[in-house]
Chain A
Amino acid sequence: MGRLFAIAGIALLASMYIVPYMFMRDTKSWLLYAFWLLVSIVMLAISWRETDSWLKG
């Protein structure tokens, strides 16, 4: 689980750099704002799930 989380996290972080500069550089809408927000919400969700096992101690 831990390794999978790390890979997903690194991929999400990398996407925050790569996707905007490849596809959204000149956007005039809220697309870029929404993209970064979505990535962060996905990160929050997988972090939440990953810490589930900690709650059991």
Chain B
Amino acid sequence: MVERVVVSLTVLVLYILLGMAVAFYSRRYLKPGEADFYIAAGRLGGIVAALTYSATTYSAFMMVGLVGLAYATGVGALGFELAYYVATLLLLVYFARRVWERARERGWISPAEMLSDHYGSRLLGALIAFIYLIALIPYAAIQIKGVGELIAGLGGGSWGYYIAGVALATVLIGAWSLIAGIWSVALTDALQGLFMLLAGLLYTVWIALAVFSSAGFSGVTSVLGGKGLLGLGGFWSFQVFLAYTIPWVFFAAVHPQVVQRIYMPRDERSLALMVRGFAIFGLLYTIIAVTVGLLARAGADQGVLPFIDPARRDAVTPTLLAVMNPLLAAIIFTSIVAAAVTTADSIILSLASSTSRDLAYKLSPERRLYTGYIAIIAFTLAAALVAYTRKGFIVDLAVLSSLMLLALAPATLACWLNVKAPSWSALSSIALGFLATLLTLAYYERPAAAFLSTVRAPGGLEVPVSVIVLALSTLPLVVGLGWRVSGRKGVELAA
């Protein structure tokens, strides 16, 4: 046990030192001004853009939450994550080039500026910045909590180790966001993204060797098939699949930290490399996480690996780390820390850009930049405070953030399609959808119950809350467009 802790901490310290070196090295690229601090002034190369996009998108949820979800519920977890993957590619390939062009043309820096500029309303930008804060502080907190739980695992789950993990994640997130803004975030993301992929591949090889060598392919198939984990019975009813996937399908359009990354590539070639790099990374990383979860279950049911109660699904990876080679465990452990940090520092930086550009827009550029620095420190500490409470399932909270941001989807897609609805309709669209989400949350005690809840529609059809939120936020936009079109016709008739 002592050897395991020492090896894990040694690899972790090496990772921190390397990350710090990269972060300080990245300062040579930083130029004065907000555009450079938040979006690299559109100067990122394709490979760094691809790795920062991927590392930001895929968080600690993958190797902890998704592995556990596949372990507990079966192959439906693959469909859930790949539906997100396919939708993200669809959105990126169809829209990214025009968003990238307009961002350069219009000088967008924060993600909310895209919508406030398109609809011509500062109030809209402020509302979106506010929603980002409500939705994403818990999302960043989950990442910090993930690091805390991992390090707590080294000390038998002790509170002291947990606090040390929370403190470490807080320092790394704050430091890597502040040292050189997006430059330190993107370059450390690139390093960590490669590390995440390498560790994931090693994890898969280890578990495949352990499980297939004793059970064989047919043994694994019969165990998983026998328990219904290769089909969609049990957990994955159609309503549950919809409830899980709908908020994630729009992830690339509504999560500010990924929307903002579309502004960053230096030319169209780099943009293409970003999309292609994500396409490869995302597919590989998803297959790795789900396959590990399924094989862990087969191995557990056959007595090859420790059995974890599916109700405690987030404990799957920490439990497996405790039985594998200490060096391999240390590498995987550190890769999960990396995945958490890359996601959280990108979120914090994005929130800071929205606070300074969309809430404090009346200040001078220099003062706005200082506001951004203060926001980075304040939001990192706020997320750490939420993590300190040590509550909630990782998967549930991650999906919940996407549900809160879902209200932004119709207005964003209309903007990306260059459909110009009146600003009041975009405001009502976002406010109505967000309000519906908050009311649902207030009604249910646990976040999981809120996003999995359904409403009975005429004809007895059970409709997930996410679909209702989407419909409610689409309605005002449709009314606004109709009003604008009928207004134009009226003007034409009068003329």
- CB pair A47–B89 under 8 Å, yes or no, is yes
Chain A residue with the shortest CB-CB distance to B238: A21
A28 vs B82: C-alpha distance in the bound complex, in angstroms? 20
Contact partner, A9, options B93, B232, B268, Cβ 8 Å: B93
Say whether B216 faces chain A, with CB atoms less than 8 Å apart: no
Which residues of B are found within 8 Å of A26, using beta-carbon distances? Answer: 228, 231-233
- CB pair B225–A44 under 8 Å, yes or no, is no
- CB pair B287–A37 under 8 Å, yes or no, is yes
- CB pair A40–B82 under 8 Å, yes or no, is yes
Say whether B283 faces chain A, with CB atoms less than 8 Å apart: yes
Greatest chain A CB density within 10 A among B241, B268, B272 is at: B272
Min distance, Cβ A4 to any Cβ of chain B, angstroms: 11
Contact partner, B79, options A6, A12, A20, A48, Cβ 8 Å: A20
Stretch from B193-201, B274-282, B322-330, B365-373 that touches the partner: B274-282
Min distance, Cβ B99 to any Cβ of chain A, angstroms: 13
Which residues of A are found within 8 Å of B267, using beta-carbon distances? Answer: 57
- CB pair B275–A47 under 8 Å, yes or no, is yes
Min distance, Cβ B102 to any Cβ of chain A, angstroms: 15
A36 vs B286: C-alpha distance in the bound complex, in angstroms? 12
A44 vs B282: C-alpha distance in the bound complex, in angstroms? 10
- CB pair A29–B82 under 8 Å, yes or no, is no
A21 vs B90: C-alpha distance in the bound complex, in angstroms? 22
**Bitwise interface map of B from 216 to 239 toward A, beta carbon under 8 Å scored 1, else 0:** 000001000110101111000010
A40 vs B83: C-alpha distance in the bound complex, in angstroms? 8
- CB pair A2–B82 under 8 Å, yes or no, is no
Chain B residue with the shortest CB-CB distance to A2: B94
Which residues of A are found within 8 Å of B249, using beta-carbon distances? Answer: 13
- CB pair B94–A57 under 8 Å, yes or no, is no
Residues facing A in B54-96 (CB within 8 A) are 75, 78-79, 82-83, 85-87, 89-90, 92-94
**Bitwise interface map of A from 13 to 25 toward B, beta carbon under 8 Å scored 1, else 0:** 1001100110011
- CB pair B78–A33 under 8 Å, yes or no, is yes
Question: Contacts A28-B225, A54-B269 hold; do A40 and B86 have CB atoms under 8 A apart?
Answer: yes
Question: Contacts A13-B249, A24-B231 hold; do A55 and B93 have CB atoms under 8 A apart?
Answer: no
- CB pair A43–B89 under 8 Å, yes or no, is yes
Min distance, Cβ A37 to any Cβ of chain B, angstroms: 7
Min distance, Cβ A29 to any Cβ of chain B, angstroms: 6
Say whether B271 faces chain A, with CB atoms less than 8 Å apart: yes
- CB pair A44–B79 under 8 Å, yes or no, is no
Which residues of A are found within 8 Å of B420, using beta-carbon distances? Answer: none
- CB pair B90–A43 under 8 Å, yes or no, is yes
Which residues of B are found within 8 Å of A25, using beta-carbon distances? Answer: 231-233
Question: Contacts A5-B93, A55-B268 hold; do A41 and B283 have CB atoms under 8 A apart?
Answer: yes
Question: Contacts A26-B233, A32-B231 hold; do A54 and B272 have CB atoms under 8 A apart?
Answer: yes
Say whether B122 faces chain A, with CB atoms less than 8 Å apart: no
Which residues of B are found within 8 Å of A41, using beta-carbon distances? Answer: 283
- CB pair A13–B230 under 8 Å, yes or no, is no
A36 vs B83: C-alpha distance in the bound complex, in angstroms? 8
- CB pair B75–A32 under 8 Å, yes or no, is yes
Say whether B4 faces chain A, with CB atoms less than 8 Å apart: no
Say whether B390 faces chain A, with CB atoms less than 8 Å apart: no
- CB pair A29–B90 under 8 Å, yes or no, is no
Say whether B97 faces chain A, with CB atoms less than 8 Å apart: yes
Chain B residue with the shortest CB-CB distance to A28: B225
- CB pair B279–A47 under 8 Å, yes or no, is yes
- CB pair A40–B269 under 8 Å, yes or no, is no
A56 vs B97: C-alpha distance in the bound complex, in angstroms? 13
Which residues of B are found within 8 Å of A47, using beta-carbon distances? Answer: 89, 92-93, 275-276, 279
A-B residue pairs, 10 tightest by C-beta: A28-B225, A9-B90, A54-B272, A51-B272, A54-B268, A47-B89, A27-B231, A43-B86, A47-B93, A25-B232
Q: Which B residues contact A (CB, under 8 angstroms)?
A: 75, 78-79, 82-83, 85-87, 89-90, 92-94, 97, 221, 225-226, 228, 230-233, 238, 241-242, 245, 249, 267-269, 271-272, 275-276, 279-280, 283, 286-287
Given A17-B245, A27-B231, A29-B225, 9 more pairs with CB closer than 8 A: A9-B89, A13-B249, A16-B86, A17-B241, A28-B228, A30-B221, A33-B230, A43-B90, A44-B89
8 A-B residue pairs with Cβ-Cβ distance under 8 Å, sorted by A, are A28-B228, A29-B221, A31-B230, A33-B75, A36-B79, A40-B283, A43-B89, A54-B268
